[in-house]
């Protein structure tokens, strides 16, 4: 059953192109990414000098995957999850 769900999920979602992203001081942003139902943007305000948290958005015509990974295990752990978790659903 899990393999079947993963197959359906991979048909529904794909990576998107980000129109603009940047960093200003402790603010990081991504403006106007494409979504199945329009556009979206994200913003992160960094509380510490090192940003340990990670996030990702994968969107397709039938759904959206949003991942927010807390860096309590360290920045490397959150980055690893962001770079590898979604690949197992494709």
Please write the tens of the pLDDT for every residue from 44-71: 777 677 778 888 888 777 777 888 888 8
Can you give the pTM of this predicted structure?
0.54
Q: Is 2 helix (H, G, I), strand (E, B) or coil?
A: helix
The total domain count for the chain is 1
Is residue 72 over pLDDT 60?
Answer: yes
Q: Which pLDDT value is given to residue 42? A: 76
Widest pairwise Cα distance in the chain: 46
pLDDT, position 80: 93
Structural domain for 81, as ranges: 2-89
Three-state SS letters, 25-88: CCEEEEEEEEECCEEEEEEEECCCCCCCCEEEEEEECCEEEEEEECHHHCHHHHHHHHHHCHHH
pLDDT-based confidence at residue 14 (cuts at 50, 70, 90): very low
Q: Which has the closest alpha carbon to 43: 59, 52, 34, 32?
A: 32
């Amino acid at each position: 059953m899990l393999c079947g769900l993963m197959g359906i999920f991979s048909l529904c979602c794909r990576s998107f192109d980000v129109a603009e992203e940047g960093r200003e001081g402790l603010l990081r942003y991504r403006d106007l990414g494409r979504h199945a139902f329009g556009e979206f943007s994200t913003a992160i305000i960094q509380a510490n000098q090192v940003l340990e948290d990670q996030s990702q958005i994968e969107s397709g015509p039938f759904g959206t995957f949003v991942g927010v990974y807390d860096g309590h295990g360290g920045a490397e752990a959150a980055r690893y999850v962001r770079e590898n978790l979604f690949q197992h659903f494709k």
